[in-house]
Amino acid sequence: MKIIPAIDIIDGKCVRLSKGNYNSQITYNQNPLEVAKTYEDHGIEFLHLVDLDGAKSNHIINYSILEIIASKTNLKIDFGGGIKTENDVNLAFNSGANQVTCGSVAVKQPEIFCDWILNYGSEKIILGADVRGKYVATDGWINTSNQTIFDFINFYKNKGIETVTCTDISKDGMLEGPSFKLYSKIIDAYNINLVASGGVSEYDDILKLDDMGCYGIIIGKAIYENKISLKQLENFILKQK
């Protein structure tokens, strides 16, 4: 299972929100590169970089942060937030992203998103399935669609998507544990690479998600709040090798 720390960016700074509420913003570090290098120093190979300014805008905003981290570390970066057009996709890849995570455009413009899967390859495009209740949320979680999480995943599974990052918004940033039941249902229902996101609060959560068969796990606030240490993550990665 991939260990994927998250760096969420507002105004060029590392922040975390609770349940996607922008008014709950806490700034943890002014220097995203410093944080990324610390992760790399502890054997971490992957990074989930989110442009929160872009997520509620109509385009990518913090691409320069992506460019800096990609050029100064060897982390494999999946980038999300504000990817609404093919220009945004190309900008993300040209700025150093290895993969892009898209949610809003997959809900609102499925034809375009399906074209991206075909044109860039399913190994490059991740489906962002952010769920509020049982419905998929969009636009930095500001809006909620009428698509259920299962219909959404099923549709794109049939279109060739291989990897889905699923965030339960009610859990995100709350340090109360992940949505184990939801992830278990998704893993049982679909043969996909599921990346679990939201609510990870202790090391045992990682072990449980690994046992369930998750492909990856995104961890944010638990690292910043020292609920899970980088040494624990380093040891987990070493045991898998």
Of 95, 114, 128, 122, residue with least CA distance to 194: 128
Find the catalytic residue in 8, 51, 88, 205.
Answer: 8
For residue 8, indicate whether it is catalytic. Answer: yes
Helices marked H in the chain: 32-41, 52-55, 63-72, 86-94, 104-108, 110-120, 149-157, 180-189, 203-212, 221-224, 230-240
Rg (CA), the chain: 16
CA 158/CA 150 separation, integer angstroms: 12
DSSP one-letter code for 101: E
For residue 139, indicate whether it is catalytic. Answer: no
CB 224 within 8 Å of CB 28: yes
β-strand partners of 21: 18
What's CA 45's distance to the chain center, in Å?
Answer: 15
Of 103, 160, 111, 99, residue with least CA distance to 135: 103
Find the catalytic residue in 130, 168, 172, 205.
Answer: 130
CA 201/CA 62 separation, integer angstroms: 27
Q: Which two tokens stand for residue 152?
A: 């959404």
Other beta carbons within 10 Å of 110: 15
Catalytic residue list: 8, 130
